[in-house]
Amino acid sequence: MSARRYLVAGNWKMHMGVGEASAFLEGLLQEELPDAVDVVVCPPYISLPAAAMLLSASRIGLGAQNVHWEASGAFTGEISAPMLAEIGVGWTIVGHSERRSYFGETDETAARRARRAQEEELRVIFCLGETLEERDGGVTFEVLERQAAVLEGLDAERLVVAYEPVWAIGTGRTASPAQAQEAHAFLRGRIAAVLGEEAARAVRILYGGSVKPGNAAELFGQPDVDGGLIGGASLDVQSFSAIIRAAAHLAAGE
Ligand code: PEP
């Protein structure tokens, strides 16, 4: 077992307005979540203030799903890192594949967002991963190397990387534990190359892509998999809690 603590983060995407988010979090707070696992939820922006109030006395972290790279200005529709920090948001996802494929996110813009978020002391979950076409074309590792190159200059202490093969997101098709481990080990090598060996040992690499209670243990049991970024299964208190418990069992060596 590595010294890295497991982290299970829920990406709610464009689900759960204020009412649903509050009901969900009230339910999650009733669960006896294990201390051994770090937990973060990432609601849509509109639900963040209510979530921040509900979670203020808990150890569940709160994250946004995106953040702009400027502090303020003429950027209609955007939200900045200081605005997030002001209401108690401590985390943000950056570079999610849905941002990359639908909203023109690039490696460079994702890196700018990440840098700015870290300057405001937010922790960043930096997403990357290959498409099906890229995997079938045999260029997975080239793609991961290119995507990971922009991590250079980021603060390792406030960085989590999420490996999310695009073909596994929301498709029900999960990477096999061996495929996940292979990609994570490769990414740890790239983190060593851009941020140094110490950072590579410390930075958590989450797997994301159709993680469910039934497959979490085998994925998280891989030596370089430090937890998960969970989409669909994070929208249900019972399944999200079950995934957190699967990580806790592994942390306890069970
Ligand atoms: C995600 O949105 O980051 C994700 C991994 O989604 P899902 O778990 O639904 O595949």
**pLDDT tens, position by position, 32-62:** 999 999 999 999 999 999 999 999 999 999 9
* Cut 0.95: pTM above it: yes
Q: Which residue's alpha carbon is nearest to atom 2 within ligand 1?
A: 231
CB atoms < 10 A from the CB of 56, how many? 9
Mean pLDDT of 74-96: 98
- Give the pLDDT band (50/70/90) at residue 213: very high
User: Which atom belonging to ligand 1 lies closest to the Cα atom of 233?
Assistant: 8
Mean pLDDT score across all residues of the chain: 97
Residue 1 has pLDDT above 70, yes or no: no
Mean pLDDT of 89-107: 97
Tell how far the Cα of 113 is from the centroid of ligand 1, in angstroms: 21
Pocket test for ligand 1, best of 128, 132, 167, 210 (most atoms within 8 A of CB): 210
Residue 122 has pLDDT above 80, yes or no: yes
Q: Which residue's alpha carbon is nearest to atom 3 within ligand 1?
A: 231
Percentage of residues of the chain with pLDDT beyond 70: 99
Pocket test for ligand 1, best of 91, 101, 229, 240 (most atoms within 8 A of CB): 229
Q: List domains and CATH numbers for the chain.
A: 7-251 (3.20.20.70)
Retrieve residue 90's tokens: 């401590």
Mean pLDDT of 240-251: 98
Q: Which amino acid is at 81?
A: A
Q: Which residue's alpha carbon is nearest to atom 8 within ligand 1?
A: 231
Mean pLDDT of 85-99: 98
Q: Which residue's alpha carbon is nearest to atom 7 within ligand 1?
A: 231
Active-site hit among 96, 130, 134, 184:
96
Transcribe the chain into DSSP letters.
--SSPEEEEEE--S---HHHHHHHHHHHHHS---TTEEEEEE--GGGHHHHHHHHTTSSEEEEES--BSSSSSS-TT--BHHHHHHTT--EEEES-HHHHHHS---HHHHHHHHHHHHHTT-EEEEEE---HHHHHTT-HHHHHHHHHHTTTTS-GGGEEEEE--GGGSSSS-PPPHHHHHHHHHHHHHHHHHHH-HHHHHHSEEEEESS--HHHHHHHHTSTT--EEEESGGGGSHHHHHHHHHHHHHHHTT-
Residue 149 has pLDDT above 50, yes or no: yes
- Give the pLDDT band (50/70/90) at residue 3: confident
Mean pLDDT of 145-165: 98
Active-site hit among 105, 130, 164, 184:
164
Mean pLDDT of 84-104: 97
Which pLDDT tens digit goes with each residue over 159-193?
Answer: 999 999 999 998 988 999 999 999 999 999 999 99
Question: Catalytic annotation on 164?
Answer: yes
Question: Catalytic annotation on 96?
Answer: yes
What is the pLDDT, as a whole number, of residue 16?
Answer: 98
Tell how far the Cα of 169 is from the centroid of ligand 1, in angstroms: 5
Tell how far the Cα of 55 is from the centroid of ligand 1, in angstroms: 23
How big is the CA angle at 43 (ends 126 and 234), to the nearest 5 degrees? 80
What is the pLDDT, as a whole number, of residue 2?
Answer: 62
- Give the pLDDT band (50/70/90) at residue 12: very high
User: Which atom belonging to ligand 1 lies closest to the Cα atom of 212?
Assistant: 8
- Protein residues whose CB sits closer than 6 Å to any atom of ligand 1: 11, 13, 164, 169-170, 208-211, 229-233
Nearest to 147 by CA among 136, 133, 131: 131
What is the pLDDT, as a whole number, of residue 254?
Answer: 86
Sole residue written with tokens 């093969």: 165
Residue 246 has pLDDT above 50, yes or no: yes
- d(CA 93, CA 78) in angstroms, rounded, equals 14
